[in-house]
């Protein structure tokens, strides 16, 4: 019999290195985020979600022809199979968390795709592109069903970001709103070996299919310590009820040792660069939607309190989830849909990293330090107390 191994444990795999990657880099000390060598600020200024997805998948910026072909393919995949509408209509209502609807629907896409079990790199890559297009469509349909409205057919004349908003809200966005959604999609697209990416990669390393791996990733993104935080931030801001209550609220939260949603990060020990973009964007959005001003003022106040109280001692700053939800709120989107929107973007990073790992795949399989008994004598049922 093998005896317990003794080893030091990095709780939560902190600092553990799982693989090499060229997809993206998080500089947690200085607060920088890089996709395939390009700083995320350059991409949010000049790129589009379509181009950034190509960059993540193929490792280079596309030329004109490559970008047009890629966009055309994404557009061709926007329509969803009718079976998925039926399944969503039967299972989705205001009480179902939309992330559950989303992973069920992605599983359904896998169930009806005749090529799901072809796990060649070429076929997985095709499914990746299909999912980049279709997760946005799924999120939009889920939002419509939740709101008791009819799904909206995709519009092939619109960009990915504009079509996503159109399918969700039923209205074609103005150019500024389209650009802001595009920036949000770009900045959420990849982020190192975060929990959902790792979950998807672990699943795919067993040589399961791409749909199943993405279902796994979505289940992981749902949690409030990860992507689910963007939804929880809004509930916290509503609970605070105004900037004048923020100091008192924070004092109580500290006393109960409750974590403040949208703050802190395993890797960033500086201000999250994505929050640096989203903070000012949210304040800009107030001009378009003045009714969100109290929430934005509360967020700004909470940001300053936490940076004042926790930045020096614990290196806690706002993360991507703190301001992103307010952006979607300003676009008139339901709070529960914030994390599914995150998934509609992160699908690019999930699939890029899964595809990068696949050709040199090795099963992920860590160990635990066994701390239980090892030599107990079996006790028959009638002798147990």
Chain residues in the site for ligand ACO (CB under 6 A): 12, 194, 225-227, 229, 259-266, 314, 316, 319-321
φ, ψ dihedrals at 313, nearest 5° = -75, -45
Least distance (Å) between residue 223 CB and ligand ACO: 9
Q: By Cβ distance, which residue is nearest to ligand ACO?
A: 264
Out of 160, 265, 272, 303, the active site residue is 265
Output the smallest distance, CB 52 to ligand ACO, in A: 17
Query: Is 265 one of the catalytic residues?
Result: yes
Q: How far is the CB of 296 from ligand ACO (least distance, A)?
A: 18
Q: How far is the CB of 68 from ligand ACO (least distance, A)?
A: 32
CA distance 29 to 270: 6
- C-beta closer to ligand ACO: residue 151 or 349: 349
Is residue 226 exposed (0-12), middle (13-18) or buried (19+ Cβ within 10 Å)?
middle
List the catalytic residue out of 113, 190, 236, 321.
321
DSSP output for 234-249: HHHHHHH-SGGGHHHH
CB atoms near residue 206 (< 10 Å): 13
Torsions phi, psi for 66 (to 5 deg): -60, -40
Known catalytic residue: 321?
Answer: yes
308: left (phi over 0), alpha (psi -120 to 50) or beta: alpha
Q: Which is nearer to ligand ACO, 170 or 223 (CB)?
A: 223
List of residues 6+ apart from 256 with CB closer than 8 A: none
> Is 132 or 229 the residue whose CB approaches ligand ACO more closely?
229
Q: Would you say 110 or 264 has its CB closer to ligand ACO?
A: 264
Beta carbons within 8 Å of 57's beta carbon, 6+ residues apart:
125, 128, 129, 348, 351, 352, 355
Which CB, 77 or 271, lies closer to ligand ACO?
A: 271
CB of 116 to ligand ACO, least distance (A): 28
Catalytic residues: 265, 321
């Amino acid at each position: 019999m093998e005896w317990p191994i003794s080893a030091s444990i990095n709780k939560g795999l902190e600092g553990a290195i799982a693989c090499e990657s060229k997809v993206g880099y998080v500089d947690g000390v200085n607060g920088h985020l890089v996709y395939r060598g390009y700083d995320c600020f350059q991409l949010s200024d000049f790129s589009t979600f379509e181009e950034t997805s190509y960059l993540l998948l193929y490792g280079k910026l596309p030329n004109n022809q490559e970008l047009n072909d890629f966009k055309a393919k994404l557009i061709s995949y926007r329509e969803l199979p009718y079976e998925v509408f039926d399944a969503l209509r039967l299972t989705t209502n205001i009480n179902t968390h939309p992330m559950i609807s989303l992973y069920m629907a992605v599983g359904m896409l896998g169930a009806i795709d005749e090529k799901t079990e072809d796990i060649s790199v070429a076929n997985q890559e095709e499914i990746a592109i299909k999912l980049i297009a279709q997760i946005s469509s799924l999120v939009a349909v889920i939002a419509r069903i939740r709101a008791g409205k009819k799904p909206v057919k995709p519009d092939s004349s619109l960009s990915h970001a504009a079509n996503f908003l159109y399918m969700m809200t039923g209205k074609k966005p103005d150019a500024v709103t389209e650009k802001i959604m595009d920036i949000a999609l770009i900045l959420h697209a990849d982020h190192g070996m975060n929990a959902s990416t790792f979950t998807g990669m672990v699943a795919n390393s067993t040589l399961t299919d791409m749909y199943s791996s993405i279902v796994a990733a979505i289940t992981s993104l749902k949690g409030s310590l990860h992507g689910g935080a963007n939804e929880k931030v809004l509930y916290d801001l509503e609970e605070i009820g105004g900037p004048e209550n923020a100091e008192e609220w924070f004092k109580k939260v500290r006393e109960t040792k409750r974590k403040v949603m949208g703050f802190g990060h395993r890797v960033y020990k500086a201000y999250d660069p994505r929050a640096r973009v989203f903070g000012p964007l949210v304040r800009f959005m107030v001009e378009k939607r003045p009714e969100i001003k109290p929430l934005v003022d509360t967020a700004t106040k909470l940001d300053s309190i936490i940076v004042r109280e926790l930045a020096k001692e614990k290196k806690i700053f706002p993360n991507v989830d703190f301001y992103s939800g307010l952006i979607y709120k300003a676009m008139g989107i339901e709070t529960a849909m914030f994390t599914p929107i995150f998934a509609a973007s992160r699908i690019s990073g999930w699939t890029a990293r899964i595809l990068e790992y696949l050709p040199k795949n090795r099963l992920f399989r860590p160990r635990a330090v066994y701390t239980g008994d090892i030599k107990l004598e079996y006790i028959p049922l009638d002798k147990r107390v």
